[in-house]
Structure 1
């Protein structure tokens, strides 16, 4: 138990909050928000429902914490790495290859928790779906900024939207079991197209 972890009533929690969020993240990543019940979560974490609600407020609250953990940990795609590229095509290659490695890593769940999360859901969960859409849009903006040094005004934004769509497709195919070598073929096609269009 975390020595200073407190419940909302001021009493110590009887579980490790960090481990609980990690466990929930893995479940949500594998099965999606609607594919995981409160019972699934409490069983996997090893707590009773009241403890979950006391610590996280709701299943949705735990989901948001799991998303934050994912985005800042296993699911982060470091777009700043393309700073070592010297051409637009090289930058695109580095970005997409990093994405392929992230969604096919043998020690992780397949696909991207954010890219494929809540794309269709019950109306009751519309707020969570909007949250995921905002997160996806933020990633697109980060990609556009990273591509800025390699592209003309306006081009970076258009290309970032295209690459975001490609990355979402790669994520879904990874979840379907497509091997990395075949996903790499997608990367090669996109890079060839960017190189031909940009001449660099």
Structure 2
């Protein structure tokens, strides 16, 4: 009679002792408040409640973590941008975009301003990758607005002589300015007045 040996399989991977989603949320808020270069690894691991080894294993290096945090920001606090594009008219798109910018930049319990604007404005060589990622991020959002306004021109919702590129950059510049002003302490009401003024000059079909 053959003897059969029973061997216990070792676990393939050691389970994480933390919630990666919660940790990423905390990392996003640190980058949002302090910017890429202003955030140290100690700041991140302290806020995330994990060790550096765990951070590297779960998210990669600081640059990769920043990119993941930016994705989370896009899907969370900055998701107003994608929703605004679904509005039926170009003016409603612009209104929803600016209102969303005001609210996201002055959100209770969150850092003021916008991660996508202030995250790496003053970055040196060490932060060049993060700065380039944010330039790409802002350009992509401008392009989405441009395409939506081009559609509005084709449909007669905007005057035929309207330049969709310029209009999109105008809207993005106002939104970026709102974020910078919010970071400087401007109130939600004051910034909403700025958004309302920008909409008063909106081109009529």
Q: Provide TM-score, normalisation by structure 1.
A: 0.85
Change (3 A) 1:81 1:165: closer
Q: Output the CA distance in 1 between the equivalents of 2:135 and 2:20.
A: 27
**Could you tell me which residue of structure 1 aligns to residue 6 of structure 2?**
none
Q: Output the CA distance in 2 between the equivalents of 1:136 and 1:81.
A: 16
Contact persistence 1:116–1:168 (CA under 8 A): no
5+ long unaligned stretches in structure 2: 1-11
Match of 1:157 among 165, 169, 176: 165
Write the deviation string for residues 72-114 of structure 1: whole angstroms up to 9, x where unpaired. 112222344354454x444422321222122112132211110
What is the SS of the residue equivalent to 2:117?
coil
Segment of structure 1 superposing worse, 38-47 or 130-139: 38-47
Match of 2:139 among 137, 140, 144: 137
What is the SS of the residue equivalent to 1:43?
helix
Contact persistence 2:34–2:119 (CA under 8 A): no
Match of 2:31 among 25, 28, 32: 28
What is the SS of the residue equivalent to 1:97?
helix
What is the aligned-residue RMSD (CA, Å)?
2.0
- 2:198 equivalent to 1:190: yes
Change (3 A) 1:57 1:67: same
Change (3 A) 1:153 1:12: farther
Match of 2:56 among 21, 34, 53: 53
Q: Provide TM-score, normalisation by structure 2.
A: 0.83
What is the SS of the residue equivalent to 1:114?
helix
Contact persistence 2:26–2:48 (CA under 8 A): yes
Change (3 A) 1:190 1:39: same
Aligned-pair CA distance for 1:189: 1.9
- 2:123 equivalent to 1:121: yes
Q: Output the CA distance in 1 between the equivalents of 2:86 and 2:68.
A: 30
Write the deviation string for residues 136-178 of structure 1: whole angstroms up to 9, x where unpaired. 0001011112223133366111100111111110001011110
